Every structure is written in structure tokens, then in C-alpha cells.
Amino acid sequence: MFGWRIRSLEAKGCTQRPVDLWRLGLEQEPALGSHLTTSRRGYNHHGIYVGERRVVHYSGLSGRWQCGPVEEVSLSRFACGHEVRRVEQAKPVFSPEEIVRRARSRLGENDYRLLTNNCEHFCNWCISGVSRSAQLERPLYQSFRILAAMFHETSP
């Protein structure tokens, strides 16, 4: 079964083999501690660039139905055949080296929860110390706005 998983990941483009950065949509190597994202079916997957074409991410549901731990993988495996983009941060609270240290401090953690501890929560915690997911907050906020509009009474 393990061999099947490796073959299925390779078929999706999720390999450990080096891939040119331009093939991942990156013009140059990301800065140390960069917040990276790549599209998956129905969501964006997030990770922290730790140098030497390596990314620390909460593997969660990326690539299989079973939840996975925080792990360090190659940039090409993180990309899984998709374009990689940098997430622009206002101003990180921590230095790039501290962001990398924080990311690596959680290697092996296996407490993935889609709504409260996913890959985006992980990256934001590494960068700012605040665990949050805008990807989840947007639909919730939109739902509350729709409900408020439905129940808002206009005066005659």
C-alpha cells in the first residue's frame, strides 16, 4: 500500500525530485520564512519556506484522506504539480530565522483540525503568533452578512 501512495503522489506531480522554480510559477527562490500557497481542488494549501528548496507545512489532508502531521518536504512535493505563490504579509512579527525556527518547532505535530488548526492557521502562527485562517473566515463572514441582510428590517 505504501508503494501505491508514492506512485499516486508521483502521478499527481508530488515528488521529491528537484523542479525548476519557474515551472512552479516562481521567478526566484522565495525569501527565508516566506508564506507560500498552492491551489488544490477546492482550497489553497499553505506552507513556510525554510530554505534550500524545502517547505514546512501541515500535511493535513493534502494528498490523502488521512490527516497527516507537520512535516518538512521539498518545494516540488509541496507544490504537487501546481503553481506556488507567495502570500504577502503586512509586516511579520518575527524575523525570517525565527519564523523558520517556529515552523520547525512543530515538526511531527499531528493535531490537524480543518476548522481550528489547519495549514493556514499553522503558517499565520509561525509568522505572527496568531493562529487564523482567512480562507475559513471569508465564507463565515459572508454567511453572517447574508443572514443579517435577510433579517434586517427596513423602516418605511
Per-residue pLDDT of the chain (156 residues; tens, 9 = 90+): 223 233 334 445 565 555 555 556 677 889 999 999 998 887 889 999 999 999 999 987 655 566 789 999 999 999 988 999 999 877 889 999 999 999 999 999 999 988 889 999 999 999 999 988 887 665 544 444 444 444 544 444
Domain membership of residue 70 (yes or no) is yes
Give the other-Cβ count within 10 Å of 23's Cβ: 13
Q: Write down the pLDDT at residue 153.
A: 47
Q: What is the pLDDT of residue 6?
A: 33
Provide Rg for the chain, Cα atoms: 18
Classify residue 42: in a domain, yes or no.
Answer: yes
CATH number of the domain that residue 75 is part of = 3.90.1720.10
24 and 75 Cβ atoms separated by less than 8 Å: yes
Residue 156 counted as domain residue: no
pLDDT of 5 reads 32
Domain assignment of residue 20, yes or no = yes
Relative orientation angle of helices 119-128 and 96-105, to the nearest 10 degrees: 140
Q: Is 44 in contact with 101 (CB distance < 8 Å)?
A: no
Task: Give the range of the structural domain holding residue 66, as residue numbers without chain letter.
Answer: 2-151
C-alpha cell at 9: 503522489
Rounded Cα distance, 17 and 136, in Å: 32
